[in-house]
């Protein structure tokens, strides 16, 4: 099936219109954003004692997800493998499965207590409960 488009003879960008469909196959593969490895989308909520983070990681196994905490910086890394199954005499015409590594790091206002924090992965969503470290009393410096 081909795509139909209306020809605009008075277009402001005639050269761009002329090549609009030329790069479409490559653009769809590179910039479609449909693969799970295009970006990790997160939601962060805060309470008095903790942060709750929900990250979308569809189609991955929990063994391929790694979460690291360094002070107030949280790093999520996920690895996906492409299946390399081909049958004898079969020719691959197009492959839209993915492989690679994606990561996302972000910082929070308060340091995280790693020992009291928890992670759970279910239905393609990674849920993190990150407990805030109890703040030590602020020290006031004497100005000399």
81-91 as b/e: b if 16+ CB within 10 A: eeeeeeeeeee
The confidence score (pLDDT) of residue 129 equals 96
pLDDT for res 73: 93
Host H or E run for residue 86:
none
Predicted pLDDT at 120: 95
pLDDT value of residue 58: 87
pLDDT the model gives residue 90: 77
**CA distance readout (Å), 100 to 56, 90, 108:** 16, 25, 27
pTM of the model: 0.62
Blockwise average pLDDT, block size 10, the chain, 144 residues: 61 58 47 52 93 92 92 91 68 72 91 93 94 72 72
Identify which of 10, 5, 137, 109 has the alpha carbon closest to the alpha carbon of residue 50. Answer: 109
How is residue 89 annotated by DSSP?
T
pLDDT at res. 56 = 93
Number of helices (H) and strands (E) in the chain: give both, helices first: 2, 7
What is the CATH T-level fold of the domain 36-131, as seen in this structure? Immunoglobulin-like (2.60.40)
Show the DSSP H helices in the chain as ranges: 14-18, 24-31
């Amino acid at each position: 099936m081909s795509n139909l488009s209306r020809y605009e003879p008075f277009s402001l960008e005639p050269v761009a219109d002329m090549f609009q469909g030329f790069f479409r196959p490559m653009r769809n593969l590179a910039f479609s954003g449909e693969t799970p490895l295009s970006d990790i989308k997160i939601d962060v909520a805060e309470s008095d004692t903790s942060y709750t983070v929900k990250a979308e990681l569809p189609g991955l196994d929990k063994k391929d997800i790694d979460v690291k905490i360094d002070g107030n910086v949280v790093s999520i890394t996920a690895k996906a493998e492409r299946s390399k199954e081909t049958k004898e005499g079969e020719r691959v015409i197009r492959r839209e499965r993915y492989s690679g590594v994606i990561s996302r790091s972000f910082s929070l206002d308060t340091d995280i207590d790693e020992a009291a924090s928890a992670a759970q992965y279910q239905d393609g969503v990674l849920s993190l409960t990150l407990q805030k470290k109890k703040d030590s009393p602020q020290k006031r410096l004497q100005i000399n």
